[in-house]
Structure 1
Amino acid sequence: MDFDTALSKVGELGLAQIVTFILVTSMNFLLAFQQVNLAFIAKEPSFYCTKPYKAHGDEVCHLEGLCEDIQFGDEFTSIVSEFKLICGESYKTSLVQSIYMIGVLFGGLIWGPKSDAIGRKKTLMAGVILLVLTSILSGFTQSYLQFAFLKFINGAAVGGTGLVIFVYSTENIGASYRVFAGTLVQVVFALGISGCAGVAYYVRDWRNLTFITGIPFLFYLPVFWVLPESPRWLASKGKLNQAEALLFKMALRNKKEVLRKEIALARPPKEKKKEHQDKAKSVSYLDFFRTPNIRQRMLVQIFTWFGCSMVYLGLTMGAGDIGSNAYVSVALSGLAELPAYVACILLLDVIGRRIMLSGCTILGGLACMLLLFIPDNAGSNAEMLQTALALIGKIGVSASFNVVYIYSSELAPTSARSSALALCTMSARIGGALAPSVAPYGKYVMFQVFGLLSLTAGISSLLLPETLNQALPDTIEDIENYSTKKTQ
């Protein structure tokens, strides 16, 4: 029998899967700390000149190097105050965020294939160790270049670890629970964003914040002694005896009375196995652009992933600059994702993927565009309205990001699904890397870019076909021949 049939016999979601899910997914809470702490570690404190002139903020920059003594406010410390990244050097704060996101891109490209090659457990453990090391070493850096280099490595660890966490948490859960489980993974990350804001509120020294947000990963190292390898991965690698042994243990923990022989996985003939491997190798990235229908699907998806990622990370990392209180704004930015995920669970199988994706992305874009009409320093009511619109934008784009994960896996043919998702993920990482580069141009430009990008992505996603209650295509030929049929 195939793996999914065997999984249905041992239980699609029982105690065995729940324990593994909690152990692995809880790491996503701390992973959010790594992604968001730059919003505080690279935040600009107040600064002023005391000698020979008295000036504050931008006035200091206009002195063109005439200020002999620049002092920073004592509300918090950051790499800005540590390495004096102000005036002509201020671009380095957004640059280090882009460097970090480029690291996330490389991490996904490296960890993904490694996870498929050597297993989920080993790659996850390697990522956790690297997260601990880079977090601790970042707190001891003595120069901007040292810090930027370590954040690149840290970003690679975050990107790779996050990918493995998502796959490991969901791939051994039955299909009927997989969307719910995948959404919960995102919920944990959103709670981590709010948690990081709470920690940063009490830990105002950037070095201590770096240590505190990284060291807790150490407590996960003993978990790998008891965490099993993914049985689905073992089965995909032909290690059927080991996969069956783990499935049998899952059955016992899930209190399912099955015999070992009743969950025996099919052993394909060597000839058929070789034919399947040759077929899988025959699909390349270029095949997604050779024929019209698959080309349109991929181009729209690539653009949508790029837009969703850029706006999502831009609003997340820039939340500290919206409203009057950076800590409250970032915390609310994380909490704002929760209703987005609830909406996905309730509506995705009712109104369909296409309308849900388009509507939520357009909502995020409209909220960003409305922010352009609210002036800064216009009083507390204006600040509250700014925060509210930013949160609405975050809700919309968070829901979009969650939908596009599910939607893209259904739009891609089975024979090339992993490759298609790899292309989409790559475009998302590029969008994430570019997001911080918009911030130095000011809020007006930032929200104009995010708003137009989100609106365009939302409208273009209407070009995609609906996949709700549709059979998944097996090959690119299926897509070209419009052979997708409704499931019975």
Structure 2
Amino acid sequence: MVCEDDWKNPVATSMYHAGVAIGSVLTIVADWYGRKPVFIGACCVQILSQVLSVVAWNYPVYCFSILLSGLFGITNYVVFFVLVTEITDRKWRNFITIASAFGFSLGYCSLSLIGYLFRSWRVYVGVLAFIGALIYLPCCWYFPESCRWLAQKGRSDESVKYLRVIARVNKRTATLNHKLEERGGYVIPKNNITSTGMMESMRVLFRTRIRAAFLTSVLGWTVSSSLYFSIALYSTEFSKDRYINIFLGGLVELPSCILGFILMKFLGRPRTAALLMVLGGISSIALPMVPQHLSGISTILAMVGKASSYAVFCAWYLISSEVVPTLQRSASLSLCASASRVGSLGVPYFMFLRKYNYWAPNMTMGVAAIVSGIFGIMLVPETRGINIPDTIKEATENRRFYRIDIFKKFPPQNTTQDEDARQYDHEHIPMI
């Protein structure tokens, strides 16, 4: 796609981003039909879309395959994240979040090696499809459904079955409380289950006390995405070799994952988000102020801002999944991911304003990041050390806010007698 066809490259890229934007919204169906079937379905279609891209016989078919790849690629990523957070106890949720981001960066780095070995783009995409199929195929048999989602849908027998399977795989004895086995324990009876449709999810997210934390998460996702790409436009290339440049571009994000893990482990979710947003905002504001002959300082500021905005994504991912009930968790991440896509799509046009005012774009992004960080510390409750909420009541009862007292300490959540079965199954049985 060169010479008179050079316009096709940006169009194909736009099709991919459009697919990601649509897929971000569609992940909400995992709240209706379950995590596992949506995840497996998205994985299968993603592989098929790559195969279609390899055999594409004309440009429209190629664009359609790119659209499908973006659509179902983001769907399986978000739904997978929801699923693993729901089958992991509170001690490991931070690690799982960082591990997901770490795996994403490693995958990004591996693209340079695969691209270097297979120069033909059709062979390159075909190899990626083959590797993806090898990774996804075992999920059809060994990937569990979310026990929490099954419990909240009143399917207690299936929930208990998966808990026993998880215990057996981990070589543990699942001594389930008789209350869980006979009455479903914390499982909601089928006749008391509310709708999980679009309108019900919107009502819960926008008309309950969850609203402030959820909207702050949406703002955080949007600003983080915009900040990441706006700073990336300022960063210099590491090498003139495109393969090395792609490899190093992914490699520099690995320390960001480690930074996010450490901060969330010791500072918690809201304080980590606020700190990284402020740090990224300051980097964005300072970047255009550096004289052109001090390129080293510009590069350092760009890397600090990029690392901060990437690490804070891990915090927002975790926050937006931990402040909402189980039946609205996919909807929360879906809307947040859609907001971030809107933010990233608008960055190229927003940065074009440099033609009229060189400082305006980065100054605006920096101020927005700092403001969203302040909102995060004020409106988002601390979720470190507590169980992930299953019901609206549990989500709204979390009043662990820092507000202006950023040094406040919250004790770990205590376990009541009524939660014995739930605590045992999600704390003492290591979830896979």
Q: Same fold (TM over 0.5)?
A: yes
- 1:122 and 2:37 aligned: yes
- CA drift at 1:442: 8.7
Q: How much has 1:220 moved relative to structure 2?
A: 3.5
1:357 aligned partner, one-letter code:
A
> 2:12 is matched by which residue type in structure 1?
V
Q: Which residue number corresponds to residue 225 of structure 2?
A: 309
Aligned to 1:16: none
Amino acid at match of 1:338: L
Q: Identify the match of residue 258 of structure 2 among 338, 342, 350.
A: 342
Per the alignment, do residues 429 and 272 of structure 1 end up closer, same or farther by CA in structure 2, a change over 3 Å counting? Answer: same
Q: Note the 1:66-105 alignment, pairs <5 A.
A: 79-80=1-2, 84-85=5-6, 89=7, 92-105=8-21
Shift of the alpha carbon at 1:462? 0.5
Q: Deviation of residue 284 (structure 1)?
A: 5.2
1:173 is matched with 88
- The alpha carbon displacement at 1:162 in A equals 0.8
| 1:370 positional shift | 4.6
Shift of 1:387: 4.8
CA-CA distance at 1:171 after TM superposition: 2.0
User: Is 1:251 aligned with 2:167?
Assistant: yes
Cα deviations by residue, 1:39-73 (Å, 9 ceiling, x for unpaired) = xxxxxxxxxxxxxxxxxxxxxxxxxxxxxxxxxxx
320-329 or 231-240, larger mean C-alpha shift: 320-329
CA apart distance, 1:245: 2.5
The residue number in structure 2 matching 1:361 is 277
Change in CA separation of 1:440 and 1:322 when aligned onto 2, cut-off 3 Å: farther
Q: State whether residues 225 and 340 of structure 2, in contact with CA within 8 Å, keep that contact through their aligned partners in structure 1.
A: yes
- Give the Å deviation of 1:386: 5.3
Who is 2:310 aligned against?
A: 398
2:46 is aligned to 131
Cα pair distance change 1:368/1:200, threshold 3 Å: farther
Deviation track 1:267-317 (CA, whole Å, cap 9, x = no partner) reads 3799964344269998553665568x7665444432221121234356679
Alignment of 1:467 with 2:384, yes or no, is: no
Consecutive unaligned residues of structure 2, counting only runs of 5 or more, are 402-409, 414-432
Give CA-to-partner distance per residue, 1:165-212, whole Å, 9 cap, x none: 212333212121112112111110011111112323344433333223
Between the aligned partners of 1:409 and 1:429, the Cα distance in structure 2 is: 18
| Distance (Å, rounded) in 2 between the aligned partners of 1:259 and 1:184 | 30
TM-aligned CA distance change 1:195 to 1:145, over 3 Å: same
Larger radius of gyration: 1
Identity %: 24
Counterpart of 2:126?
211
Q: In the superposition, relative to structure 1, how do residues 285 and 116 fare at CA in structure 2: closer, same or farther (>3 Å)?
A: closer
Report deviation, 1:399. Answer: 1.0
| Equivalenced residues, count | 397
Tell me the alpha carbon deviations over residues 213-244 of structure 1, each in whole angstroms, 9 at most, x when there is no partner. 22322224541453143251433433322332
Partner AA of 1:467 in structure 2 = P
Matched, 1:197 2:112: yes
Distance in 2, Cα, partners of 1:443 & 1:216: 44
Aligned pairs (5 A) from 1:439-458: 449=361, 452-458=364-370
Equivalent residues of 1:112, 1:160 under 8 A apart: no
Describe the shift of the 1:126–1:410 C-alpha distance in structure 2 as closer, same or farther (beyond 3 A): closer
Query: What is the distance in 2 between the residues matched to 1:454 and 1:365?
Result: 4
Deviations 1:371-394 (A, max 9, x none): 435688x7xx84x66554433222
- Find the partner of 1:154 among 69, 77, 82: 69
CA distance in 2, matches of 1:279, 1:142: 41
Q: Which residue of structure 2 lines up, in the alignment, with residue 33 of structure 1?
A: none
User: Any idea what SS the aligned residue of 1:121 has?
Assistant: helix
Please give the per-residue CA displacement for 1:380-419, whole angstroms capped at 9, x wherever unaligned.
x84x665544332221111111111222344447785554
Query: CA contact under 8 A between 2:381 and 2:399: conserved in structure 1?
Result: no
How far apart, in 1, do the equivalents of 2:12 and 2:360 lie? 23
Distance 1:443 1:259, change over 3 A: farther
Give the Cα separation in 1 of the matches to 2:168 and 2:394.
Answer: 43
Partners of 1:191 and 1:269 lie apart in 2 by 38
Name the structure 2 match of 1:285.
Answer: 202
* Whole-angstrom CA distance in 1 between matches of 2:139 and 2:169: 19
Q: Distance in 2 between matches of 1:399 and 1:425?
A: 16
Q: 1:188 aligns with which of 103, 114, 126?
A: 103
Q: d(CA) in 2 for partners of 1:136 and 1:282?
A: 36
The answer to which structure, 1 or 2, has the higher relative contact order (CA under 8 A, 6+ apart) is 2
Aligned to 1:427: 339
| 1:159/1:297 CA distance change after superposition, 3 Å | same
Provide Cα deviations, 1:103-140, integer angstroms capped at 9, x if missing partner.
11222322431x33444333233222222222232234
Letter in 1 for 2:371: I
Verify the 8 A CA contact 2:31 2:196 in the aligned structure 1: no
Does residue 266 in structure 1 map to residue 183 in structure 2? yes
Q: Normalising to structure 1: TM-score of the pair?
A: 0.67
For the 8 Å contact 2:18–2:70, the answer to whether it is kept is: yes
Q: Would the aligned equivalents of 2:235 and 2:298 in 1 still touch at CA under 8 Å?
A: no
Q: What whole-Å deviation, never above 9, does each CA across 1:335-366 have from its counterpart, x for those lacking one?
A: 22222222222222433433321321233344
